[in-house]
A and B are shown apart, each in its own frame.
Chain A
Amino acid sequence: MWLHVRLSEVCLFLQAMFILACCFSDMESGPIATSGSVQPNGDRFKIEGRAIVPGVKTQDWISSARVTVEGEEYIGFLGTDGSFVVNDVPSGSYVVEVISPGYKFGAVRVDITSKGKMRARLVNFIKTSEVIRQPYPLQLRSSGPRTYLMKRETWGWTDFLMNPMVMMMVLPLLIIVLLPKVVNTNDPEMRKEMEQSMNMLNPNPELPDVSEFMTKLFSGSKSSSSKAIGGSKASGRPAVKRRWCQNITCTSGLRNYCNWSCHGNYNAIFKKSFFIRLYNCFLSRVFFPSSEIQVCK
């Protein structure tokens, strides 16, 4: 690598005519001189630039700021107008930073050839040879004050109530409380309608889908005799309920509750559990995407 650099330097010397055009091309392959080591016949150069903190007077921040080149290898101070010069820098590649305890500044990499030609580019530690040119003399603009401190989380009623999770819990609760009062659940037709709409809510691919269920239901009612209607009604409902129970999707947080509702006596608690299940399904739909849904039992 070193040889290559030396050779390319020699080449550059020979092709003096093209120096202006191509003197930077060899920089990609490696440093011409490392920082810190002084070239035997090398000259010293200066890095110039200007730092600006928008909206802040210079006297408010320059006294605590300084310019560092490659750590503390070379140090410059800021002038009263925010400009700076770092003198006595040998050729090489350096990271130039404005350090101020109050304000953020981005770092810039400055390459100085042995001829003293300067170039500024963005610092990229991963792709070290990548060149995204920056203006030279450097124009460093602060991106704002530094944030060192974290804000404490404070607790307020409004924060609590406006929390989306709480909203999701409260709204369905209201539905549960209010819906039975609005809709007459004792009406069997209404109930059936709701059962169907419930199933519509649950398009779970692992489970028999609604159409299948409907065909079963209809074929069953068609095939059965008229005297068995009452019986089929009586036996059909538990079946439906069992299906429901399977349809009720839940995650670990809701599992206990779900288990309880699966094992319970459906006929007895139907009136209430229907809405609980409705609520459950609603919750599971809202909170958990289909991939994470498990079927209880």
Chain B
Amino acid sequence: MKPPAKMSKPTSLFVIFFSLFVMSEAVFEDQVGKFDWRQQYVGKTLFAHFDSHSQSSKKLFLATDKNIFASFNSRTGELFWRHVDKAGPEGTIDILLLHGQDALMVVGGGRLLRSWDTNMGGLNWEAVLDTGSFQAACFVAMQDTVKHVAVLKKAAISLHYLTNGHQKWVENLPDSDTVQYQAVYSGGEEEVYVLGVVPNSHLTIIAYSLEDGEIIKQRSVEAPWLSSVESSCVVVGHGVLMCVDTATLALYALPIQSLDLEVSPGFQPVLVSSQPHPARSPISEFFLQLGPDHHVLLQLNADGYTIAPLRDFQPAFLVSFSTTGEKTVAAVMTPKNETVKKKKNVACAINLFSADSGRRLLDTTVIFPLDLNGGKPFKLYVHAFLKKDDSVGYRVLVQTQDHALTFIQQPGRVVWTREEALADVVTMEMVDLPLTGTQAELEGEFGKKADGLFPMVLKRLSSQVILLQAWLAHLWKLFYEARKPHGQVKNEVTIETLSRDEFNLQKMMVMVTASGKLFGIDSKSGSILWKHYLENVQPNAVFKLIVQRTTAHFPHPPQCTLLIKDKDTGLASLHVFNPIFGRKSHIAPPALPRPILQSLLLPVIDQDYAKVLLLVDDQYKVTAFPSTKNVLQQLQEMASSIFFYLIRSDQGNLSGFRLRKDLSTERIWEVVLPTEVQKIVAVNGKRPNEHVHSQGRVMGDRSVLYKYLNPNLLAVVTESTDAHPERAFVGVFLVDGVTGRIIHEAVQRKARGPVHFVHSENWVVYEYWNTKSRRNEFSVLELFEGTELYNSTVFSSLDRPHLPQVLQQTYIFPSPITTMEATLTEKGITSRHLLVGLPSGAILSLPKMFLDPRRPEVVTEHSREENLIPYAPEMPIRTEWFINYNQTVARVKGIYTAPSGLESTCLVVAYGLDIYQTRVYPSKQFDVLKDDYDYVLISSVLFALFFATMISKRLAQVKLLNRAWR
């Protein structure tokens, strides 16, 4: 089990030598970008800033919920650079402030303060803040120059220098246990104001001296109506705090003024103000949002007491302020016309208004189509700039509810769109594309019953003619396009032109994202062909995507079903759609009133060729979908051979059930793993579409070692509840899913998770952390029946008296891993590779050959004959095995493998923050000519040989003739 600590040098040398020869997996120089692509995403935008440092700057800075700080090219939407911090609460970006070239960030709930050089993408400095949860931060200016940043925590305020992050002073806030301090403000004077509130009692305002942090003033204002400063108060004009009373809708500018405005029922009014420069006070105009699409522009008069409405905007989705030079403008987004609401797309208009007068600026209207299917617009980021003629121009970034970003330029041109929902892909499937008409015609020829020789010949001839026609048309198209200038030729993929290619290498990737948006992506180009936003999906929903009918059953459309389950309640719903076009199917899914525990796809098909999906609810009742008479009858017939399992990881319970004829179930076995000792982390069966070509392995002495190929085998991984490094362990149980028999049990002592594992064919590979030696280790379990098969024709879990022989070996892996998957090919002839996602973003293609428990420690004649690599404790990682070369995939979450029409080729999609699609050839391309096939050499050799024979023939003739003359 444990790798021996010593490693003999010759062995390791031999391995290296061996690997040099054996390994084929590497990307060639000319293959870069040929069939692979990568798309980089950042996630849902939390903060966005345009680089206003210089007029012509193209930079756009985003901070997202995936803890990423990124710089984009605003002209193309491409990334300049991106910094991926640790996932989870330790890396969350609390605030992003931009000043000149520096971007300031508070990270991890007030843990760190970072300053970035936005030009280079490097860190200026990083400072550790005192503990305490973060509340607010702002720049503090002194005599028109910004030199400090103030960070407000729950119980303290600190001031830091912008140049090096050093702390100037830190002060504890008075009465921090009763007062909730929520905002910090500086208007360019020598003071920093901290605003705190005691809910429904009073408001506290403290002014600190900039120099030494002394409290200059402290004031408390009665405000029994105020519950939170953050949501209902802004600072407007020269230090006037404007608060909105949600109950009576009065605006408090300290002297209270009631306004005659009507707020929508159930809506919390929102105030929007703008402070163009930290050294100056905010402008005296502000927006008040009264309803979901109702905004009012208000102005605080110069006397500082009266408020005058400037303009009423209804309907208006979003409003935003932007400042350029001395001018401040307000951008308002309105729907263009209400009448076309039935349509999918709604035209939206954005207008600019002068902030100080409320007048509309001329020639600033931008009209663009908005896909309402993607949810409502969510936020507007405006970048205003002065044109040469001193008028105001602007660019707009619109964020919609589905996390998509759209960048719009005057006049009404959508420059780019980014589907940021794809930063969080949850699950995916690859679906074959439909055949074209001609292909279907050809295929149909084989499907039909033979009706005489002559009609068959005719049919064959006609289909050949069709093929010839198609080929000629293709040639003509090539010729026609060759005459056109290169730029005009566009090979755009649309849904209409999609069809299967010769080797079924191009497929439709159906991706399900956590936000509930579904995407259909062309696997060849990576272009998004359809998208569908499911609006009312809970944020904590879990998804399972099932392909019920593939494209093989023309004229029935392919059908996918998405099972959406609420994690808390367990209640589920089904979304049935066509994976090629993304359209919702007209088939009504069954109502699921009870929580769903398990779903299983049966190989049974109904009369429309859709596979049957069984859903098991918490009363162990089974719902079938589709549930036609035909299906129910079939289910009744084969009910006794339908088994399924349920996992209750909170109870440490694994149980097996059998279906009864009346679609109820009976429990037939149960395995209990006591939760006090260990908890079930993951259970994994084999992939149903996996083929195993060879039943056994031929050994060096010509005998055959048969594999134990149990299709019902489940691999159960447990972790100990005791996390102490000396007592922690990882357990792997192999359980037969039909009988509940534990086939094998392996316990790895002094080990802890996260455990990543792959279960396929007759092996399980798992990876864990060795707490004693502080390293990652791979372990492989292989199951063999022995040299004789018990029943070679069919495998039955109920009739296997002998337990398999289990071989195990363990290796050191010199890097942590994030995910693992095995390659998959059409017939399973090609050797297998493991695809390992590393934290660096690389995807390592590791030959299964290295994870073979029969690797000998001492090389013998037999092992050499079998091509076994001698055992070496450390697994090599070679950069040539990275299938994605330098196209790293940040935070790889899953790797999806799918077979193609070629046995040698496996399609791979790695998803995480980014999406990367490629093909791998684990045994090289043995069934097609290689890319580097040298046609010139072969043909020249052929011609040379041909001419050589001609000449030598002639010479021989002459010689014979001469001899005859002699």
Question: Footprint of B on A, CB under 8 Å?
Answer: 1-2, 30-31, 34-35, 37, 44, 46, 58-59, 62-64, 66, 68, 70-80, 84-85, 87-88, 93, 97, 99, 101-102, 104, 123, 125-128, 146-153, 155
Contact = CB atoms under 8 A, between A and B. Distances in A.
A47 to B, nearest CB: 12
A59 B124 CA distance: 12
Interface stretch (B115-123, B326-334, B856-864): B115-123
Interface residues of B, number: 60
B26 A150 contact: yes
Given A37-B723, A126-B874, A62 B120 contact: yes
Contacts of A128: 773-775
A155 B938 CA distance: 11
A59 B101 CA distance: 15
Given A99-B840, A101-B886, A34 B771 contact: yes
Given A71-B839, A99-B840, A147-B880, A63 B26 contact: no
6 contacts: A75-B85, A77-B123, A126-B874, A128-B773, A149-B26, A149-B885
Contacts of B874: 125-126
A61 B84 CA distance: 15
B173 interface: no
B7 interface: yes
B27 interface: yes
Given A72-B87, A155-B934, A149 B27 contact: yes
Interface string B813-856: 01110100000000000000000000111000000000000000
Best-buried of A62, A97, A123, A148 by chain B (most CB within 10 Å): A148
A126 B812 CA distance: 8
Nearest to B71: A63
A57 to B, nearest CB: 9
A79 B937 contact: no
Contacts of B724: 2
Given A58-B122, A99-B841, 18 more contacts: A30-B725, A31-B774, A72-B818, A75-B84, A79-B125, A80-B117, A88-B112, A93-B774, A99-B839, A126-B5, A126-B812, A128-B774, A146-B879, A148-B27, A149-B29, A149-B32, A152-B932, A155-B934
A101 B726 contact: no
Contacts of B5: 126-127
A153 B932 contact: yes
Contacts of B117: 80
A37 B728 CA distance: 13
Contacts of B134: none
A77 B125 CA distance: 10
B886 A58 contact: no
B91 A75 contact: yes
B937 A64 contact: no
A72 B114 CA distance: 19
Contacts of B28: 149-152
Contact of B29 (A44, A123, A127, A151): A151
Q: Which 9 A-B pairs have the closest CB atoms?
A: A63-B121, A71-B816, A148-B885, A63-B81, A80-B122, A59-B120, A101-B886, A150-B26, A99-B840
Contacts of A104: 879
Given A87-B128, A88-B111, A150 B123 contact: no
Interface string B103-115: 0000000011010
A71 B111 CA distance: 21
B888 interface: yes
Interface of B is mostly: loop
Contact of B879 (A46, A73, A127, A148): A148
Best-buried of A1, A44, A63, A80 by chain B (most CB within 10 Å): A63
A191 to B, nearest CB: 29
A74 B86 contact: yes
Nearest to A104: B879
Contacts of A46: 128
A146 B884 CA distance: 13
Given A72-B87, A146-B886, A2 B725 contact: yes
B772 interface: yes
Nearest to B117: A80
Contact of B120 (A30, A66, A80, A155): A80
A66 B934 contact: no
B873 A126 contact: yes
Given A87-B112, A101-B886, A150 B27 contact: yes
Contact of A63 (B122, B879, B880): B122
A95 to B, nearest CB: 8
B725 A31 contact: yes
Nearest to B111: A88
B83 interface: yes
B84 A66 contact: yes
Contacts of A70: 816
A76 B84 CA distance: 10
Best-buried of B30, B119, B774 by chain A (most CB within 10 Å): B774
A66 B932 CA distance: 37
Contacts of A97: 840
Interface in B916-942: 932, 934, 937
B50 interface: no
Contacts of A75: 84-86, 91
A219 to B, nearest CB: 45
Given A37-B723, A101-B886, A146-B879, A125 B812 contact: yes
A151 B771 CA distance: 41
A205 B815 CA distance: 53
B68 to A, nearest CB: 12
A61 B87 CA distance: 23
A203 B816 CA distance: 58
Nearest to B81: A63
Interface string B426-438: 0000000000000
Nearest to A76: B126
B124 A79 contact: yes
Contacts of B879: 104, 146-148
B292 to A, nearest CB: 39
B882 interface: yes
Contacts of A150: 26-29, 880
Contacts of A88: 111-112, 128
Nearest to A73: B86
Best-buried of A70, A78, A87 by chain B (most CB within 10 Å): A87
Nearest to B886: A101
Contact of A77 (B30, B126, B882): B126
Interface string B860-901: 000000000000011000011010011110000000000000
Contacts of A1: 726, 772
